[in-house]
Every structure is written in structure tokens, then in C-alpha cells.
Amino acid sequence: MKAGGLKKRFMKIWPMFKQTTKCTVQASYSVQVNYYVSITLHGNSGKVLDATCDCKASAMGRCNHIAAVLFAVDDIVLEHGHHIAPTSKLCSWNKERKNKRDPQPCHTAT
């Protein structure tokens, strides 16, 4: 299944290893109807912590739009791998350089 029905995809990394995906899914029967889906996943395990959609079937727990977004997220991860945002990584630009110099006292200089 390809991510063809997803119009927009926004991912935010939250502290506590939660990842929220919000997107607009176009209805299969009408190009003028869109549903808004929000899914919160556990960052390490990928377990679905929360999922909501504004369609009528979501109230009964039978929403296909949430399933479509989960399949699309799975396709994206399989295609591009697990990418960690630079802002979620430890700071590497302020680390001390390894000093390869060997300072000597002035009186030993020739």
C-alpha cells in the first residue's frame, strides 16, 4: 500500500519517546471530503498509544483512515529507514576536540 491518500504528513518528536503523526486523508469515494487523523506512537517500540480520526466510523472503532496512515508510516520507515532528527540527537558540535598537540616548555625549544 502506498501513501497516495496522504496529502500532508507532519511528524513531531516529543520528549518521553512519543512521536505524533498528524495528516489529512482523502476519502476514497469523494475528492472533496478529507479526514484528519492523529496517531501517537511510542518512540522505541512503535506501539500505538493513541489514534483519532474525525470520521463517523472512528466512534465505533472501525476507522480505515487510521489503518491507512499506519500502513503509510510503515511504508515510509521501510523505504527510508529509521531517521533521527538532528534536534533529537545529543549535541556533538560543542564537544572538545581531541588535541593532537604535544606542548613543550619554552626552554626546550631550539
Q: Of 5-19, 63-77, 78-92, which gets the smallest average pLDDT? A: 5-19
Instruction: Supply the pLDDT for residue 53.
Output: 92
Per the CB < 8 A criterion, the answer to whether 43 and 70 are in contact is no
Q: Confidence class of residue 11 from pLDDT cuts 50, 70 and 90?
A: very low
Q: Which residue is it, cell 480505515? A: 64
Per the CB < 8 A criterion, the answer to whether 75 and 3 are in contact is yes
**Residue type at position 62:** R
Instruction: Supply the pLDDT for residue 60.
Output: 83
Closest CA to 55 of 28, 74, 73, 75: 28
| pLDDT tens figures, 95-107 | 666 667 777 888 8
| pLDDT tens figures, 71-103 | 888 887 788 776 666 777 777 777 666 667 777
